[in-house]
Amino acid sequence: MPDALTIAKTCARFADEIQAEDIVVLDLRGISSLADYFVICTATSLPHLKAVSRDVRLKTEEEIGEKPRSADGEATSMWLVIDYVDVVVHIFHEEKRSLYALEDLWSDAPRVELEPSVSES
């Protein structure tokens, strides 16, 4: 069974592979009981939003055997959430990410170092 950090980094990598932008992983351990990690990324269109969600879910399950407990949101809301219990993936349309500003809300959470191709997105 993969640990939360492995799940978070795997989700971030698959979001990067389908060209999600501005991928950030926040370490919430000791800060919040909601989750250990948030993965936050941006999609550039509604079809891209759906594709990022689909690929993150399917490829994470294929590679590490981890299925989400739930996935919530409609593409038209411009914010999709994938819940892996200890990891929550937030996929925003670029118009909504700044509105909800999760990085600002959780500004005291350290950022997890990602592979260069992921963090340069």
Q: Tell me the domains of the chain and their CATH numbers.
A: 4-108 (3.30.460.10)
Cβ contact 27:112 at 8 Å: yes
Token pair recorded at residue 97: 């990410």
Q: Which of 41-55, 65-79, 103-117 has the lowest mean pLDDT?
A: 103-117
Q: How far apart are CA 16 and CA 24, in angstroms?
A: 11
pTM across the whole model: 0.94
Mean pLDDT on 7-15: 98
